[in-house]
Amino acid sequence: MQNIAPLNWRRFPERYLLRGSYCENCKQAFFPPRAICPNCRRKGKLVSMEMPRTGKIISYTKVYSPPEGFRNEAPYYLAIIELENGARILSQIVDSEPEKIKIGAKVRKVFRRIGEPDKYGTITYGYKFKVIE
Ligand code: ZN
């Protein structure tokens, strides 16, 4: 547990606040945060930025055979979401009626448990998204 918790906490701002990067040179937002702007490389000027909480689904899939740690949740929906600032993020869609999960649907960030507790009993929390009317 001692080895696990610090890692989770180190990633906490990214998972909880949805903190990404914004390049002041090309005005693009990125998530997860980048060390180097993929557009500008050395000329890029990245700053830390909290991502918007809402966006829309641009692609999604239903997962029937999830990886270890997510078996209890199957089947579930995984979507690529374009946030209000244009950054794209891969996330699970929860608390939404299946017929409302479609391309173009508006979604909002929620805070949920991620997967099942690991062998040390550590529970990880993070962002997921739900469809809003
Ligand atoms: Zn840039």
Asked if residue 9 has pLDDT above 80, the reply is no
Residue 36: CB atoms within 10 A of its CB come to: 12
Number of H helices, E strands in the chain: 2, 8
Note the pLDDT tens digit of each residue in 27-75: 999 998 999 999 999 999 999 999 999 999 999 999 998 888 788 888 9
Q: Please give the distance, rounded to the nearest whole angstrom, from the Cα atom of residue 30 to the centre of ligand 1.
A: 10
Q: Please give the distance, rounded to the nearest whole angstrom, from the Cα atom of residue 110 to the centre of ligand 1.
A: 29
Phi, psi of 8 (to 5 degrees): -60, -40
